[in-house]
Amino acid sequence: MEYLAGVILAKELFSKYENITDFRSIEIKKKSKGQPYFFNRQLKEETDWYVSISHSNDFAVVSIEKQPVGIDIEKVEERSKSFYGEVFSDYELSKIADDHTLGTKYWTAKESLTKALGEGLHIKLKEIEFGYNDGKFDLKKYPSSLKQDQLQTSIESIEAAGYVVSKCVIK
């Protein structure tokens, strides 16, 4: 249900920006690594909009932009030390400590970045390292496979009602 809600919300947002009244004229397809995109059925082509959809429990979030975008929502909860060890660098682990909210912020920031890159979880998350200050993330370390233009990111994170949402836009 959450995924379907995300698809409907994405189409609703797109239709408002593009003045489309018939949802059937726009389709959300997926690229080989799972990244969604808008496909105009009338023109039979991909649009120039980027879309990202995420869901967790009863919530779905969507972001659409003219630049690569990734969004992620996760419930704040305790996660295993082994999970943290697979995902976070030693520096990040020292910052997170036992703060489950901050751990969720780091997790969603990493996932939003990989979505914006169009890679999803095909990138080793431990190779990405963030600094964090006042709700914004700063990319400190990244895989050598990333191109210079992919490193100009804006990543913000908010917490509300026991959930964290992070959004990444590649400029």
Q: What is the pLDDT of residues 63-118, one digit of tens each?
A: 999 999 999 999 999 999 899 999 999 999 999 998 999 999 999 999 999 999 99
pLDDT, mean over the chain: 92
Q: Are 77 and 140 found together in one domain?
A: yes
The CATH number covering residue 88 comes to 3.90.470.20
Q: Are 87 and 25 found together in one domain?
A: no
Amino acid of residue 82: S
Q: Are 42 and 75 found together in one domain?
A: no
Q: Is residue 130 within 8 Å of 140, Cβ to Cβ? A: yes
Q: Are 10 and 84 found together in one domain?
A: no
Angle 170-29-139 (CA atoms, 0-180°, nearest 5)?
20
In a domain, 83, yes or no: yes
CA distance 37 to 100: 32
Range of the domain at 79: 69-170
In a domain, 62, yes or no: no
Query: Is 0.95 topped by the overall pTM?
Result: no
Residue 165 has a pLDDT of 97
Q: Is the pLDDT of residue 150 over 80?
A: no
In a domain, 58, yes or no: no
In a domain, 63, yes or no: no
Cβ contacts of 86 within 8 Å, gap of 6 or more: 125, 126
Q: Are 31 and 103 found together in one domain?
A: no
Q: Are 19 and 74 found together in one domain?
A: no
Which two structure tokens, joined as six digits, stand for 8?
Answer: 């409907």
Alpha-carbon Rg of the chain, whole angstroms?
Answer: 16
Q: Are 88 and 36 found together in one domain?
A: no
Residue 2 has a pLDDT of 83
Q: Is the pLDDT of residue 48 over 70?
A: yes
In a domain, 56, yes or no: no
In a domain, 55, yes or no: no
In a domain, 100, yes or no: yes
Residue 149 has a pLDDT of 66
Three-state SS string across the chain, please? Answer: CHHHHHHHHHHHHHHHHHCCCCHHHEEEEECCCCCEEEEECCCCEEEEEEEEEEEECCEEEEEEECCCEEEEEEECCCCCHHHHHHHCCHHHHHHHCCCHHHHHHHHHHHHHHHHHCCCHHHCCHHHCEEEEECCEEEEEECCCCCCHHHHCEEEEEEEECCEEEEEEEEC
Please give the share of the chain, as a percent, with pLDDT higher than 70. 98
Q: Is the pLDDT of residue 60 over 70?
A: yes
pLDDT bin (cut points 50, 70, 90) of residue 124 is confident
Q: Are 143 and 102 found together in one domain?
A: yes
Q: Are 73 and 42 found together in one domain?
A: no
pLDDT bin (cut points 50, 70, 90) of residue 54 is very high
How many domains does the structure of the chain reveal? 2
